[in-house]
């Protein structure tokens, strides 16, 4: 069993971007600028956005964190996005999800100009991705593809099972793994809460991507010996022994599954850091595209 070390791979990507930004600076070119919008005080969202802003600073990107009250109206948020769309210095916009219930995710995502949609959630980018055209690809599935690429894992012809059908991870992951790309060229099954014989389907998988957000859902009896297991889950579970009061749990029962695998991602330190690295790559690309770098 080999660990797919997201910290190590993301470090390599972040170091490469840092060099590229230093080069832009010496050439007097535009530096990538990410605007991150955070609505309310969701603890996990605060952590994720904080990590994104911190990584921008480390690379040398500019970033603007826009913090908004939980009670902000949908209209005010939409107007703010329009201002960010029109701000020529800003290359990428992300609005951290989930949003409060009174705000429509769909309206907010649709309001972001596709050329600044570094999360890859806008229907224009989703449509391009489905067609295999250049597009901003959602950071988590993009990060997983970069990880498979880094470890030179040849996925051609493999049976891939994606558990979870969210727009952020499961669906785009299924599209990318089935694409005529390397990594890619998998035969993909996408499973969800209504799937019958889930255990059996997973047991036939050469690659399992667990992205359903249920701690320790994937157990040893669901995994074929030699399978590759990618764990997207990162749920806060109460744990009095931790200073924070919670432990982070993946969607995979790591201790019993890991010995069976050819490769597996740990939680934390697997997919999480790759998500941030992929977002940074998207932001760099958005700046290059807009400014002809
Ligand atoms: N919430 C969970 N994952 C993501 C993500 O990749 N982007 C945004 N904007 N919100 C998220």
Domain annotation for the chain: domains and CATH numbers: 29-116 (3.40.50.10860), 139-272 (3.40.50.720)
The residue whose CB lies within 8 Å of the most ligand 1 atoms, and thus the one to mutate among 52, 96, 272, is 96
- The set of catalytic residues is 52, 96, 119
Q: Is 168 in the pocket of ligand 1 (CB under 6 A)?
A: yes
Mean pLDDT taken over the chain: 97
Residue nearest to atom 6 of ligand 1 (CA): 139
Q: Is 96 in the pocket of ligand 1 (CB under 6 A)?
A: yes
Residue nearest to atom 8 of ligand 1 (CA): 96
Ligand 1 centroid from CA 162, angstroms: 18
Report the percent of the chain where pLDDT is more than 90: 99
| CA diameter of the chain | 58
Query: Taking 90 as the threshold, does the pLDDT of residue 40 lie above it?
Result: yes
CB 51 within 8 A of CB 273: no
CB 39 within 8 A of CB 97: no
CB 19 within 8 A of CB 9: no
Q: Per residue in 222-278, pLDDT tens?
A: 999 999 999 999 999 999 999 999 999 999 999 999 999 999 999 999 999 999 999
Query: Taking 90 as the threshold, does the pLDDT of residue 292 lie above it?
Result: no
Closest CA to 189 of 168, 210, 159: 159
Q: In angstroms, how far is CA 6 from the centroid of its own chain?
A: 12
Q: Per residue in 100-139, pLDDT tens?
A: 999 999 999 999 999 999 999 999 999 999 999 999 999 9
Q: Per residue in 251-266, pLDDT tens?
A: 999 999 999 999 999 9
Q: Per residue in 170-211, pLDDT tens?
A: 999 999 999 999 999 999 999 999 999 999 999 999 999 999
Residue-wise over 264-281: b if at least 16 C-beta within 10 A, else e? bbbbebbbbbbbbbbbbb
pLDDT of residue 119: 98
The partner residues of 218 in beta bridges, in order of sequence, read 252
Q: Is 160 in the pocket of ligand 1 (CB under 6 A)?
A: no
Q: What is the mean pLDDT of residues 38-56?
A: 97
The residue whose CB lies within 8 Å of the most ligand 1 atoms, and thus the one to mutate among 110, 119, 137, is 119
pLDDT of residue 293: 76
Q: Is 97 in the pocket of ligand 1 (CB under 6 A)?
A: yes
What are the two backbone dihedrals, phi and then psi, of residue 65, each rounded to the nearest 5 degrees?
-95, 120
State pTM to two decimals: 0.98
Report the percent of the chain where pLDDT is more than 70: 100
């Amino acid at each position: 069993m080999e660990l797919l070390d997201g910290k190590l791979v993301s470090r390599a990507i972040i170091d490469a971007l840092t060099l590229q930004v230093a080069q832009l600076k010496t050439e007097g070119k535009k530096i990538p600028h990410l605007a991150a919008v955070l609505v309310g005080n969701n603890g996990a969202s605060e952590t994720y956005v904080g990590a994104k802003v911190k990584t921008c600073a480390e690379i040398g990107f500019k970033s603007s964190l826009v913090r908004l009250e939980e009670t902000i109206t949908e209209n005010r948020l939409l107007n703010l996005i329009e201002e960010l769309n029109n701000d020529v210095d800003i290359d990428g916009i992300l609005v951290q999800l989930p949003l409060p219930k009174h705000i429509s995710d769909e309206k907010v995502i649709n309001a972001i100009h596709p050329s600044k949609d570094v999360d890859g959630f806008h229907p224009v980018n989703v449509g391009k991705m489905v067609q295999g055209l250049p597009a901003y690809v959602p950071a988590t599935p993009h990060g997983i593809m970069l990880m498979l690429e880094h470890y030179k894992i040849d996925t051609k012809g493999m049976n891939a099972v994606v558990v979870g059908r969210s727009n952020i991870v499961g669906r785009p992951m299924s599209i990318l793994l089935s694409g005529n790309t390397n990594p890619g060229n998998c035969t993909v099954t996408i499973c969800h809460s209504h799937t019958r014989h889930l255990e059996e389907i997973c047991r036939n998988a050469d690659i399992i991507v667990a992205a359903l957000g249920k701690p320790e859902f994937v157990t040893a009896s669901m995994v074929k010996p030699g399978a590759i297991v990618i764990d997207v889950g990162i749920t806060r579970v109460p744990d009095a022994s931790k200073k924070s009061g919670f432990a982070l749990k993946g969607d995979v029962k790591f201790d019993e599954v890991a010995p069976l695998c050819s490769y597996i991602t740990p939680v934390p330190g697997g997919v999480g850091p790759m998500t941030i690295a992929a977002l940074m790559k998207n932001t760099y690309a958005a700046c290059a595209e807009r400014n002809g770098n």
